[in-house]
Amino acid sequence: MKFSEKTWDWFIKRTGLVNNTLWNSFHWKKYLQEEQKKSHGLIGYDWGDPENPKDPYGNYKQILDWLQTGISSDSHVLEIGSLGGKWTQYMSYARLVTCVDLFEETFDFLNKRLGDRLNLQFYKTKGNELRGISSDSVDLVFSMDAFPRIPKKSIQRYLFEIFRVLNRDGKVLIHLPCQDIPFCRRKAFTPISSQWIRKTVEAIGFRVPQFHFDLIKHGIILQAVK
């Protein structure tokens, strides 16, 4: 059975079923479809401009600088939640970019938009796993705006999976929700604490983790090394 967007919005508001894979798949697929109808071509920019250090949501330029600094001509980059390619487009120096998302429509769009200048491969996830990606095969895992409404257990599983697929000395640069931040509480993002994030990241085995709490307004940025 298919629901209209209005019916779906009413349902999730009444039930609170927002922070889950089904909602994410429905919402972002619909978002991509609607954004493609617009003339500006800036899909995802209502959630930040990667080249703007004074974006309303925070210093996105710093995140972009870290991303590009972590990429070389030999790099295999894995991006979780590629959507319209807002960040993917800046990975052109990489040897290979693996785009991970919940639905194949985004892969078709990315291939048409960026396939002529990036070596892309695609993996459709169930929302908490990277089973199709070989262990010790990735140099950098990147993600922005994909984790805020992923369930807590799925975030934990993703972190284990990220650790598995990274090469030794591979790096992670991802955006996570955090209930210690007022914006995340107002938006009812998945309620994980900074203490839980630190404990989980360290228990998995990531080295030299850095947690940036003031860089963006809607979560934290985690940098770490395997």
> C-alpha angle with apex 34: 30 to 39, nearest 5 degrees?
155
Nearest CA to 185 among 195, 194, 197, 177? 177
Instruction: For residue 20, give both structure tokens.
Output: 């889950």
pLDDT confidence bin for 222, thresholds 50/70/90: very high
Stated pTM of the model: 0.90
Q: Where are the beta strands (DSSP E) in the chain?
A: 76-80, 96-101, 120-124, 138-143, 166-176, 207-212, 220-225
SS3 state of residue 191:
coil
pLDDT per position as a tens digit, 181-218 = 999 998 889 999 999 999 999 999 999 999 999 999 99
- The pLDDT of residue 9 is 55
**Is residue 14 over pLDDT 80?**
no
What is the C-alpha separation between 113 and 91, in angstroms, rounded?
13
Could you give the percent of the chain with pLDDT greater than 70?
A: 91
- The pLDDT of residue 130 is 98
Residues sharing a CB contact under 8 Å with residue 219, sequence separation 6 or more, in sequence order:
147, 148, 175, 176, 177, 178, 181, 183, 184, 189
pLDDT per position as a tens digit, 17-73 = 667 787 788 778 888 888 888 766 778 888 899 999 999 999 999 999 999 999 999
pLDDT mean across residues, the chain:
91
**CATH class (in words) of the domain with range 5-225:** alpha beta
Q: Where are the beta strands (DSSP E) in 105-165?
A: 120-124, 138-143
* Residue 95 burial (CB count, 10 A): 13
pLDDT per position as a tens digit, 74-118 = 999 999 999 999 999 999 999 999 999 999 999 999 999 999 999
Domain ranges of the chain: 5-225
